[in-house]
Amino acid sequence: MSQYHAVQIEQKWQERWEKDNLFAARADTEQEKYYVLEMFPYPSGRIHMGHVRVYTIGDVIARFKWMKGYNVLHPMGWDAFGLPAENAAIKNNTHPAKWTYANIDEMRSQLKRLGYSLDWDRELATCDPSYYRWEQLFFLKLWDKGLVYRKQAPVNWCPDCQTVLANEQVEDGECWRCGSMVENKELAQWFVRITAYADELLDDLKTLRSGWPERVRIMQENWIGRSLGAEIDFPVQGGDENIRVFTTRPDTLYGATFMSLAPEYPLIEELVRGKPQEEEVTAFVRRMQATDRSVRTAEDTEKEGVFTGAYCINPVTGEPIPVYVANFVLMEYGTGAVMAVPAHDQRDFEFAGKYGLEIREVIKPADQEEHEGGLQAAYAGPGYLVQSGEFSGLDHETAKTRITEHLAEKGLGEKAVNYRLRDWNISRQRYWGAPIPVVYCEKCGAVPVREDDLPVVLPTGVQTRPDGRSPLPETEDFVQTTCPACGGPARRETDTMDTFVESSWYFARYTSAKLDNAPFDPRELSYWMPVDQYIGGIEHAILHLLYARFFTKALRDLGYLEHSEPFANLLTQGMVLKDGAKMSKSKGNIVDPNEMLDRFGADTTRLFTLFAAPPEKDLDWNDQGVEGAHRFLHRMWRLHDQLSPLLTPIGPCARLEDGELSTTGRDLRRKEHESLLKISRDLEQEFQFNTCIAAVMELTNAVSAAYDELSRTESGRKVLSSAWSTALLCLYPMTPHICEELWAMTGYDHCLAARSWPEHDPQALHKDEVTIVVQVNGKLRGRISVPAQAEQEDIKALALDNENVQRHIQDKEVKKVIVVPEKLVNVVVG
Ligand code: ANZ
Ligand code: ZN
C-alpha cells in the first residue's frame, strides 16, 4: 500500500505545471476571458495566514474557470514601496531595496509552495523603475489636464516617523504606526484632484450593484459624502466683506442666531484687529492649531469657542449676529464658516447653551405639543416653518428650495453641492517611494520633468538615516539638476508618491506587464479589463478601491483605457482569527504557514482554510480542524488505493446505460451527478467552497459504501470509476496536487489542470422512487414511497391510504390535500 506524502507530490506537480507553462495567459479574442485578481501583497517578509486565505480563494476560482473553458488571467506582483521597508532597513542596518527584494524572493517561493495557478511571467514589483516610470508619466499627464496641483496645506505630522499621515492613519490623535501624538504642520504638497470625479465616482456605484457587496458600496458613498444645500452670504457689520457659509438647511436661516468660524478661517485676524478680544482669540486659534483635528472635532469633544467681537448680518432677518471661532468647525469642509442654528443643530445647541446665545425655534413638528417648555435638545426632524417671515407655514423641504431661490434672486446665495471627499494628497516626505517628477527652478518655479527624461530613478546607492528622515534632500547628485524650461540650475522634488498611487493601476499593468515602450498595450488592455473578480480585505473597502476607481476613470479620459470601472465583482474575505482575535505578532497568536506546509503540505492548508468558513466570514484557526482536513486527504488516498485495481480512466460523468446498472449502481451514479451539479453551482455563483468540500466528502462516503457490491460487476466498476473521477475533479480546484496525483494514478494521460469541467447528465438525476412524508394538520404522521414520476392524484391516494395517516383522520372530514412534489403531502382535516 502506498503512502500519502504530501510534500513530495506537491513539489512534483508544481514542477510539472511550471514546466508545461499551464497558467501563462495569452490574449485570444476567440475565447472568453476571465480575469481573477487578489489584492497584491506588501512584501513584508513572510506570507501570513491572511495571505494564504485570500490567494487560495482566488486560486480555486481561477482553476475552476480554466476548466470551465475561460481564458484565465491570474497574475501576481508586489506592492513594494512604503514605510515598513524603511523602518526595517533602519532597524536591521540594511537598505530598503535589499530588504524588499529579499522578502519578495522569500514570499514568491512560499506562494509557489502553495501551488497557486499564477502567471509568473507577469510578475511586477512597484519599486522597479520599469513600473513606476509609467506612474510618473501619468503624473505629468494629469498635471497637464489640471488634475494635479501643488498647494500649501495643513498636514498631520508624526514627529517620530517624520512624515505626513493621511487622516485615516491618525487614530485618536496618534500615529497609527508608532503611537506618537500627531501634530499639525503646513507644507506645500502635491494633490490629485479626485474631487473632479466625485459625482461620477458616486453615480457609478450604481453600476456595481450586482457585483460589489452592499456594505462596501455604502462605505464608498459615505466617504464621497455628497451634500446638497446652499451657500449664503452674511455681510460683516461695518465692513465690506461677506462671510459665506455652506448649509444643508437653508430652511432654518431665520433661526441662525450666531456665526461659527473655523480657527483657520482667514478673515479672523482682520475681524479681531484692535478689538479687546484680539488676544484671547489669537490664543484660542493657536491652541486649536496645536490640537489634532480628529480630536478637536470628535463628537464627544466638548464644544468650545471665543467671541471675536465682530458681528455679521443675517441676510433675511437683517439682525446682527455675533461671530465666534469654534473648535468643531473645519476649514476643509464647505467654506469653513457655519451659520449656527442652535434650535435645530445639536452642536450649535450645546455651544449656545454654554455661551448663553439665543436659541430660536423656526421648525415645528406637525404635533406641536412636543416642545412646550423649551427645547431639551436640538430638533433636527421634519416640520413646518415658524418665525420665518414670508416663509412661515411652509413645510421645511419646500422652504429649502424657496429660501434658496429667494437668496439667489437677491444675489445673497445660491444652490450648492458639497463633498466630504477631499483631493488626494500624494506627497510623502519619505525615501522609499516613487519620485515625483518635478524640478524647482528659481526662475520658472515648479516645472514638470520632460517625458523623455523619465524615469526619475530613485537613487538606491544612498544610506537611509537612523532618525528615519528621508536622505533624498541631502543627496546632492539626485537633487541638483537643470531646469527643463530654461536650462538653468534647478533642484528636484524630494517628496515621493503615496504608495496608494502604485496600487491604483497595477491591475491594468498586468495586462502587458513587460511592455517597455508604453504603460499598456491597448489591445491587451481592452481584451482583459475589467477584472472580473477582485478579492481582498475589507480594510481596503474605502481608499484603495476609491483610488483605483478614480485612476481607471482618469486613465480613460487620458485615452488609455476604455473602461470606467476596474473591478466588475468584488469579494471581501473575512479575517483569520486565532482564539477569537486577529492573528498578529503583538498578540503572539500567529500560525506560520511555513510550519503548516512542512507538516501537512499545501493541500491540507488550503483545504482547511476553505472548509472552515465561507470566504466572506471570519475564520477561526483551529488545530483540530487542520488535522481533520489532513485526515480527509489521507482517507482519499487510502480509498483510492483500495479502488485502484478496478479503476479505469473512463472519465468523470461517464455515460452509462440505465439498463446495465443495479439499484446501487444507479444510486451512486445519481449521487455523482447531483454532487457535480451542486458543486458547479456553488463554485459558479456563490463561492461557497465549504459546501463544495462537504459535497465531495459525501460523494467519497457514497463510493466507499457502494464499493463491496459494485466492485463485483463490470458495470459496477464503471460506476465506481466514473464517480471517483468526478470526486477527484470536483476537489481539484481546492486541493489540486493530491487530485492530480490520484488522477494520474487512475490512468489518465492528461493532467487535471488541462481538463475541462464536465456537464452533469440530467438523466442520471432521475430517481425511481422517492420517499415523501405525510402530515395531518401539519404533524408528521407517516412516510410513503412513491414512483418518482407519480401523478399528484396517485400520491394523494397513496398518502390517504397509509395506515397511520388513516388513524389520525378517522371520521374527520378531509378538507384539503396539499402535495409538494418529491417532498411532502399535508392532509388538512377539520
Ligand atoms: C445650518 C444648519 C442648521 C446646519 C441645521 C445643520 C442643521 P453635511 O450634511 O455633513 O454636509 N457645516 C458646514 N460646514 C461645516 C464645517 N466646515 N465644519 C463643521 N460643520 C460644518 O453637514 C452640513 C452642515 O454641517 C451644514 O448645515 C452646517 O450646519 C455644518 F439645523 O447649517 B448646517
Ligand atoms: Zn527654469
The pair phi, psi for residue 503, each rounded to 5°, is -80, 0
Contact 339 CB / ligand 1 (< 6 Å)? yes
pTM for the full predicted model? 0.86
The pair phi, psi for residue 604, each rounded to 5°, is -65, -45
At 728, list the grid cell: 477527484
By C-alpha distance, which of 636, 657, 762 is closest to 718? Answer: 657
Cα distances (Å, whole numbers) of residue 36 to 40, 533, 768: 12, 5, 42
Give 233's pLDDT tier (boundaries 50, 70, 90): very high
By C-alpha distance, which of 194, 404, 393, 167 is closest to 295? Answer: 167
Cα angle: 819, vertex 824, 825; to 5 degrees: 50
- The SS3 assignment for 155 reads strand
* Ligand 1 atom 19 nearest Cα: 329
First CA to last CA across the chain, in angstroms? 65
Please write the tens of the pLDDT for every residue from 796-827.
888 888 888 888 888 888 899 998 888 889 99
The label of the residue with cell 489591445 reads 523
User: 582 CB contacts (<8 Å, ≥6 apart)?
Assistant: 575, 576
Using an 8 Å Cβ cutoff, are 161 and 468 in contact? yes
Using an 8 Å Cβ cutoff, are 573 and 615 in contact? yes
| Residue 179, CB-side half-sphere exposure with 13 Å CA sphere | 0
Q: Mean pLDDT across the stretch 251-273?
A: 96
Contact 717 CB / ligand 1 (< 6 Å)? no
Residue 643: its pLDDT value, please? 97
> In the predicted model, is pLDDT for residue 432 greater than 70?
yes
The DSSP output letter for 652 is: T
The label of the residue with cell 531646469 reads 483
Would you give the distance in Å from CA 703 to the centre of its chain? 41
Would you give the distance in Å from CA 794 to the centre of its chain? 54
Å from CA of 516 to ligand 2 middle: 30
Taking the C-alpha atoms of residue 388 and residue 369, their distance in angstroms, rounded to an integer, is: 19
- The SS3 assignment for 393 reads coil
DSSP 400-423: HHHHHHHHHHTTSEEEEEEES---
The pair phi, psi for residue 174, each rounded to 5°, is -120, 155
> In the predicted model, is pLDDT for residue 443 greater than 90?
yes
Please write the tens of the pLDDT for every residue from 86-122.
888 888 889 999 999 999 999 999 999 999 999 999 9
By C-alpha distance, which of 165, 22, 217 is closest to 755? Answer: 22
Beta strands in 628-768 (DSSP E): none
257 sits in which H/E element = none
Taking the C-alpha atoms of residue 203 and residue 122, their distance in angstroms, rounded to an integer, is: 33
Residue 736: its pLDDT value, please? 98
Q: Is the link from the previous residue into 821 a cis peptide, with omega within 30 of 0?
A: no
* Ligand 1 atom 12 nearest Cα: 338
Cα distances (Å, whole numbers) of residue 419 to 174, 228, 261, 423, 426: 26, 9, 19, 10, 19
Residue 369: its pLDDT value, please? 59
Contact 250 CB / ligand 1 (< 6 Å)? no
DSSP 52-108: HHHHHHHHHHHHHHHHTT-EEE---EE---SHHHHHHHHHHTS-HHHHHHHHHHHHH
Taking the C-alpha atoms of residue 691 and residue 330, their distance in angstroms, rounded to an integer, is: 50
User: 93 CB contacts (<8 Å, ≥6 apart)?
Assistant: none
Using an 8 Å Cβ cutoff, are 715 and 661 in contact? yes
Would strands 258-261 and 305-313 be described as parallel, antiparallel, or unpaired? unpaired
User: 525 CB contacts (<8 Å, ≥6 apart)?
Assistant: 508, 511, 512, 560, 561, 562
Please count the other Cβ atoms lying within 10 Å of the Cβ belonging to residue 312.
28
Return the ligand 1 atom nearest residue 328 CA. 19
Please write the tens of the pLDDT for every residue from 707-727.
999 999 999 999 999 999 999
User: 54 CB contacts (<8 Å, ≥6 apart)?
Assistant: 38, 39, 535, 536, 537, 573
Contact 418 CB / ligand 1 (< 6 Å)? yes
Using an 8 Å Cβ cutoff, are 672 and 724 in contact? no
At 591, list the grid cell: 500560525
Å from CA of 437 to ligand 2 middle: 15
Burial class (CB in 10 A: 0-12, 13-18, 19+), 620: middle
Q: Which of 216-230, 353-367, 642-656, 800-814 has the lowest mean pLDDT?
A: 800-814
Å from CA of 485 to ligand 2 middle: 5
Contact 344 CB / ligand 1 (< 6 Å)? yes
Contact 303 CB / ligand 1 (< 6 Å)? no
* Ligand 1 atom 20 nearest Cα: 329
Of 221, 333, 347, 407, best ligand 1 pocket probe by most atoms within 8 Å of the beta carbon: 333
3-state SS of 339-366 is EECCCCCHHHHHHHHHHCCCCCCCEECC
Contact 248 CB / ligand 1 (< 6 Å)? yes
User: What does the chain come to in residues?
Assistant: 830
Q: Is the link from the previous residue into 649 a cis peptide, with omega within 30 of 0?
A: no
Residue 586: its pLDDT value, please? 76
Q: Which amino acid is at 248?
A: T
Q: Mean pLDDT across the stretch 341-349?
A: 96
> In the predicted model, is pLDDT for residue 299 greater than 90?
no
Taking the C-alpha atoms of residue 362 and residue 379, their distance in angstroms, rounded to an integer, is: 10
Taking the C-alpha atoms of residue 807 and residue 824, their distance in angstroms, rounded to an integer, is: 18
Q: Which amino acid is at 758?
A: P
φ/ψ region of 366 (left if φ > 0, alpha if ψ in -120 to 50, else beta) reads alpha
Å from CA of 408 to ligand 1 middle: 19
By C-alpha distance, which of 10, 112, 51 is closest to 591? Answer: 51
Q: Which amino acid is at 770?
A: V
The label of the residue with cell 412516510 reads 783
> In the predicted model, is pLDDT for residue 292 greater than 70?
yes
Q: Mean pLDDT across the stretch 557-565?
A: 97
Please write the tens of the pLDDT for every residue from 570-611.
999 999 999 888 887 777 888 899 999 999 999 999 999 999
Please count the other Cβ atoms lying within 10 Å of the Cβ belonging to residue 141.
19
Using an 8 Å Cβ cutoff, are 707 and 643 in contact? yes
Using an 8 Å Cβ cutoff, are 647 and 707 in contact? no
Domains of the chain: 6-132+500-580 (3.40.50.620), 133-193+424-499 (no CATH), 227-418 (3.90.740.10), 769-829 (3.10.20.590)
Contact 342 CB / ligand 1 (< 6 Å)? no
Å from CA of 227 to ligand 1 middle: 10
> In the predicted model, is pLDDT for residue 166 greater than 80?
no
Taking the C-alpha atoms of residue 796 and residue 707, their distance in angstroms, rounded to an integer, is: 37
- The SS3 assignment for 764 reads helix
Q: Which ligand is nearest to the CA of 440?
A: 2
Of 247, 301, 386, best ligand 1 pocket probe by most atoms within 8 Å of the beta carbon: 247
Å from CA of 482 to ligand 2 middle: 8
> In the predicted model, is pLDDT for residue 157 greater than 70?
yes
Cα distances (Å, whole numbers) of residue 771 to 675, 795, 802: 20, 11, 13
Å from CA of 246 to ligand 1 middle: 7
At 718, list the grid cell: 464503471
Q: Which ligand is nearest to the CA of 491?
A: 2
Contact 360 CB / ligand 1 (< 6 Å)? no
Using an 8 Å Cβ cutoff, are 433 and 499 in contact? yes
Residue 168: its pLDDT value, please? 58
Please write the tens of the pLDDT for every residue from 464-504.
887 777 899 999 999 999 999 999 999 999 999 999 999 99
823 sits in which H/E element = none
Please write the tens of the pLDDT for every residue from 724-779.
999 999 999 999 999 999 999 999 999 998 899 999 888 888 777 788 899 999 89
φ/ψ region of 653 (left if φ > 0, alpha if ψ in -120 to 50, else beta) reads left
Cα distances (Å, whole numbers) of residue 146 to 140, 149, 202: 10, 7, 21
Of 248, 258, 261, 375, best ligand 1 pocket probe by most atoms within 8 Å of the beta carbon: 248
* Ligand 1 atom 18 nearest Cα: 329
Contact 247 CB / ligand 1 (< 6 Å)? yes
> In the predicted model, is pLDDT for residue 789 greater than 80?
no
Q: Which ligand is nearest to the CA of 445?
A: 2
Taking the C-alpha atoms of residue 496 and residue 244, their distance in angstroms, rounded to an integer, is: 36
Residue 724: its pLDDT value, please? 98
Using an 8 Å Cβ cutoff, are 746 and 721 in contact? yes
Residue 372: its pLDDT value, please? 59
Q: Which of 541-545, 594-598, 790-794 has the lowest mean pLDDT?
A: 790-794
Please write the tens of the pLDDT for every residue from 347-381.
999 999 999 999 999 999 987 655 556 778 999 99
The pair phi, psi for residue 696, each rounded to 5°, is -65, -40
Taking the C-alpha atoms of residue 267 and residue 245, their distance in angstroms, rounded to an integer, is: 13
Q: Which ligand is nearest to the CA of 422?
A: 1
- The SS3 assignment for 338 reads strand
At 536, list the grid cell: 481582498
User: 288 CB contacts (<8 Å, ≥6 apart)?
Assistant: 263, 296, 325, 327
Taking the C-alpha atoms of residue 625 and residue 182, their distance in angstroms, rounded to an integer, is: 44
DSSP 224-238: H-EEEEEEEEEEBTT
> In the predicted model, is pLDDT for residue 382 greater than 90?
yes
At 625, list the grid cell: 480542524
